[in-house]
Amino acid sequence: MAKYSEDFKLQLVKEYLENSLGYKRLAHKYGMPSSSPIIRWVRAYQAFGIEGLRKKQTHQVYSVQFKVDVLHFMKQAGASYQDTADQFGMNNSSLIANWNQKFLAEGVKGLEERAKGRPSMSKKPKQKSDKPEKVLSREEQLERENELLRLEVAYLKKLKAFQENPDAFLEKHKQRWRSNSTKKDSD
């Protein structure tokens, strides 16, 4: 929520324009710590009318070229941030100050829009490495096939034993698990 409502801003701007009270006295009258917001509101109202006092609802994205043009104009004309903002129809002069600071620190690269927050998780499964698999000789291919067949036979034997007598198969493996756990405990 904004600190000051649009109606309050409009009331202060109109009071400033209609009366002879200065910025500081107006700020003091309404219990504001500084007169600088009133100065900004009056300038925005004079430049853009009531639209200048409204809070922007959408995040305006400016191109890098636009930012560079704004900073170039400011430097060539010797204009202040507020004058530059008025010239380009912007309501936020501090945005130009930020652009200038980034430009001085990082150059044009600093003016590029960066994604905020943590990057999203990839929805694609991880791809296998692009390295070509090791080419096996004919003998190595046969040895690999032999090993796979041995594993398949061993699996089928265990499956058959389990199907014939599931309780005996489970008891045998329970004993093996118990003997392994007692060995670990005795260490």
pLDDT of residue 1: 39
Cβ-proximal residues to 9 (8 Å cutoff; 6+ apart), any chain: 41, 53
The whole-number average pLDDT for the span 140-164 is: 89
Contact call for residues 2 and 55 (beta carbons, < 8 A) = yes
Judged against a pLDDT cut of 80, whether residue 92 lies above it is answered with: no
The whole-number average pLDDT for the span 36-59 is: 78
The whole-number average pLDDT for the span 93-122 is: 84
Minimal CA–CA distance to 45: which of 95, 98, 8? 8
In this prediction, residue 142 has a pLDDT band, given cuts at 50, 70 and 90, of very high
Tokens 């009071």 belong to 15
Long-range CB contacts for residues 80-83, cutoff 8 Å, separation at least 24: 82/40, 82/43
Distances (CA, A) of 7 to 12, 30, 32, 50, 60: 9, 14, 16, 10, 23
Q: How many CB atoms lie within 10 A of CB 41?
A: 20
What percent of the chain stands above pLDDT 90? 9
Question: pTM value?
Answer: 0.48
Q: How many CB atoms lie within 10 A of CB 161?
A: 13
In this prediction, residue 91 has a pLDDT band, given cuts at 50, 70 and 90, of confident
- Mean pLDDT for the chain overall: 80
Q: Estimate to the nearest angstrom the gap between the alpha carbon of 115 and the chain centroid.
A: 5
Judged against a pLDDT cut of 80, whether residue 181 lies above it is answered with: no
